[in-house]
Structure 1
């Protein structure tokens, strides 16, 4: 596989691994999302100053308001984090 295909496969595998924890494989619950962030993006949670900020982040990921993070919402998070970490993204 190409590097981009490998990256896509890793994204899908990562989502599936954490979403399967509670048996509902199509979305991440709040607890699953928090566990995923703690294990996969520990630096993100380190910059959060308190639990309220973490809760606000988790709520912000839930674009459709169903109290879960689906795959599309997960991919948007990863894309946004990638842009934030990459110096070629326009600063807003």
Structure 2
């Protein structure tokens, strides 16, 4: 049986392919596919009411090779950055808890 980390990696890969398979290149996310993934799978992005300009900045930052699509490597790098942001949030939150004691 797979451990939690292995399951998380599988979810990451399957989620990418769930959206990349909808149109065009089946191994890359178009702008529309990426936007749908962000809204449905990372609702905190939607809660910020991501406007078109903000989304375009995200797309430009992720699309390292400038082919107007996001491949799995670019997506995985993005998730790594999101994970690092979560880690920083939890470190700060933990330190605030320790200071209150």
Distance in 2 (CA, whole Å) between partners of 1:75 and 1:82 is 10
Deviation at 1:4, TM superposition (A): 1.3
TM-score by length of 1: 0.87
In 1, Cα distance between the equivalents of 2:69 and 2:82?
19
Q: Which runs of 5+ in 1 are unaligned?
A: none
Counterpart of 2:22 in 1: which secondary structure?
helix
Greater RCO, CA 8 A, separation 6+: 1
Higher Cα Rg, which structure: 2
Corresponding residue of 1:32? 33
Q: How many residues align?
A: 89
Q: 1:58 to 1:30 in 2, by over 3 A?
A: same
Q: CA RMSD in A?
A: 1.7
Alignment pair present for 1:84 and 2:100: no
Tell me the TM-score normalised to structure 2 length: 0.79
Q: Is residue 24–residue 30 contact of structure 2 (8 Å, CA) maintained in 1?
A: no
Runs of 4+ off more than 4 Å? none
Runs of 5+ in structure 2 lacking a partner?
92-101
